[in-house]
Chains A and B, each alone.
Chain A
Amino acid sequence: MKQRSYLALEGVTVEFPTKAGKFCALDHIDLNIEKGQFVALIGHSGCGKSTLLNAVAGLNKPTKGVIFLDGEVVDRPGPDRAVVFQDHSLLPWLTVEENVALAVSKTAQGKSKAEQKDWVMHNLELVQMTHAATKRPAEISGGMKQRVGIARAIAMQPRVLLMDEPFGALDALTRAALQDVVMELQARLNNTVMMITHDVDEAVLLADRVVMMTNGPAARIGEDLMVDLPRPRQRLSVIDLPAYGAARSGVIHFLHERYRNPAQAA
């Protein structure tokens, strides 16, 4: 029998019941992700990227097919698949530190209070947010909130880090700063990551592999592109490499030639 990948999606189909009958969002998705691999999912709006990510997170159940993580079947949400939500989803009544601490308290069982606090502060330091530890989410900027969102997720030491369009709501400069944070974290921690994005440059810059999805309904994986760039990456040293341009143009051709935005094609 063949060895399963670290994260393996086998024939995942997701259908939603609607008034007009079943709506098939994803159609038999097979995807194998190795440990430590950074995968970007890209595709037009409504192609089911979020549905796929939520299925891995356990937030919605596939109608057919199975998801394996490290040989175990994924059937419910859990802290081993931490999610960085698009809207950060920090709890507004907790401070930055408490938000991360809540996640740590659920994943660091057996550690003392002091160790847990150190771990919280360590993770805030990784995203350069220790200065705002006692602030409420409402008191910090959007980019800072998302830094905290990332800190909360990595503090859980997940087996897979899921990022649902994490920088979609940020301006271009803040987004670049956060991409740098993610690159740095990836160099240090070498997490297995699945990230949804709309941004071609973001996908190519961050990911080892860009998975492109066809337009929904019944979306499938259209193309699977390996990004052959050295790690650790630095924005300025990779953007001029030929491999960067090749990957970028490959994704753009897919998105704008082979599978054009359904809204524009109509």
Chain B
Amino acid sequence: MASLPETQITPAPVAAAAVILPYPETAIARRFFPPMPQATHPLLVKLQGFASTVLPTAFMLAFLLAFWSLACGPDSALPGPAKVWEESHEVILHPFKGVEFHGLVPDIQDGGDVGIGAHIMKSLARVLKGYALSAVIGVALGMLVGTNKYAFRALDPLFQVLRTVPPLAWLPISLAIFQQAGPSAIFLIFITAIWPIIMNTAVGVQNIPVQYRNVAKVLALNPAEYFLRIVLPACVPHMFTGLRIGVGMSWLAIVAAEMVQGGTGIGFFIWDSYNSSLLSDTIVALVWIGMVGFALDRIVGLIGRLIARS
């Protein structure tokens, strides 16, 4: 290759370009430094966080109360908040009338005249029995349906049909089966709560990632180990979704269940107050039902998270 003529090579003007220009003083002066905000007290920061989570709810409640009292004047059929307080403050202020606490164990007095908290406790006891049954049987059936495709084909259509039957429709049937109010109320709660538990557990088992199955295959886990070490932990999140929906459903069924079982319970309380035209008592009961249902949902959710973490 021929060398290039020397004239074509011009050295780059390195020296000229390498002069470092100082940053102009005026430009430095022009720069704007916003004043540092004062350090906020950590307690104040916490308070702000608290306020920003609680205040929206508080405003919403205040707005609802205002709307309710405006919409329901003194002459309307539905009592406004002031009227509810006026008529039912006994019920609101003394929820545990007729209950004696021995430590944490409540002893509820027999016979009608007890506070709303006592009714709630009676209802909770019933819901717990029915729900515990549906949780155990529901998880077991869900596992069966999720692991065995023939069980799935056999049972899934049945579940899909039965789960749409509303709790009240089961009432005559459960009375016919059990002949007694107590067990049929529990059956009603059981049959309402079990479907979401079965469905979600089954979906959880069916959706175990193929990677985990491959790990189990490579390790040659036997069926019992596969179930305990892989299936059960892998479907905990789905299972608890079902259990959470289930606890809500079982609490929903309580009013229907307690129409059968007269005498005690929040469902009976509502039925009774409706029959004696005490609409304001019904409103108080609704608030209680809502709060307890919310608490139940949160408790099951919390248990699910604790188990998923361990």
Contact = CB atoms under 8 A, between A and B. Distances in A.
Interface stretch (B33-41, B61-69, B124-132, B211-219): B211-219
Nearest to A93: B233
Interface of B: 211-212, 214-215, 217-221, 229-230, 233-234, 236, 308
24 contacts: A57-B218, A58-B217, A59-B214, A59-B217, A76-B220, A77-B217, A78-B218, A78-B220, A79-B218, A81-B218, A83-B214, A83-B218, A89-B211, A89-B215, A91-B212, A91-B229, A91-B230, A93-B233, A93-B234, A93-B236, A93-B308, A106-B219, A106-B221, A156-B219
A244 interface: no
Contacts of A83: 214, 218
A81 B218 CA distance: 7
Contacts of A76: 220
Contacts of A79: 218-220
B205 to A, nearest CB: 15
Given A85-B211, A87-B211, A93-B308, A102 B233 contact: no
B112 to A, nearest CB: 50
Contact of B220 (A59, A85, A106): A106
User: Which residue among B212, B218, B229, B236 has the maximum number of chain A CB atoms within 10 Å of its CB?
Assistant: B218
A106 B226 CA distance: 12
A82 interface: yes
A102 B217 contact: no
A12 B22 CA distance: 74
A103 interface: yes
Nearest to A90: B215
Interface of A: 57-59, 76-79, 81-83, 85, 87, 89, 91, 93, 102-103, 106, 156
Contacts of A102: 219, 229
B218 A82 contact: yes
Nearest to B307: A93
Contacts of A59: 214, 217-218
A81 B220 CA distance: 11
Q: Which A-B residue pairs are the 6 nearest by beta carbons?
A: A77-B217, A89-B211, A93-B233, A106-B219, A77-B218, A83-B218
B210 to A, nearest CB: 9
Contacts of B219: 79, 102-103, 106, 156
B219 to A, nearest CB: 5
Contacts of A106: 219-221
A58 B233 CA distance: 25
Nearest to A106: B219
A103 B219 CA distance: 6
A198 B221 CA distance: 31
B220 A77 contact: yes
B214 A85 contact: yes
Contacts of B220: 76-79, 106
Contact of A89 (B214, B234, B308): B214
A78 B214 CA distance: 10
A85 B213 CA distance: 12
Nearest to A158: B218
A120 to B, nearest CB: 14
B208 to A, nearest CB: 11
Contacts of A93: 233-234, 236, 308
Nearest to A85: B211
Nearest to B209: A89
Contact of A91 (B215, B217, B218, B236): B215
A189 B217 CA distance: 24
A91 B233 CA distance: 9
A106 B217 CA distance: 12
A103 B230 CA distance: 13
Contacts of A87: 211
A102 B218 CA distance: 12
A177 B308 CA distance: 33
B42 to A, nearest CB: 27
Given A77-B218, A83-B214, A85-B214, 4 more contacts: A87-B211, A91-B212, A91-B230, A156-B219
User: Which residue among B211, B212, B236 has the maximum number of chain A CB atoms within 10 Å of its CB?
Assistant: B211
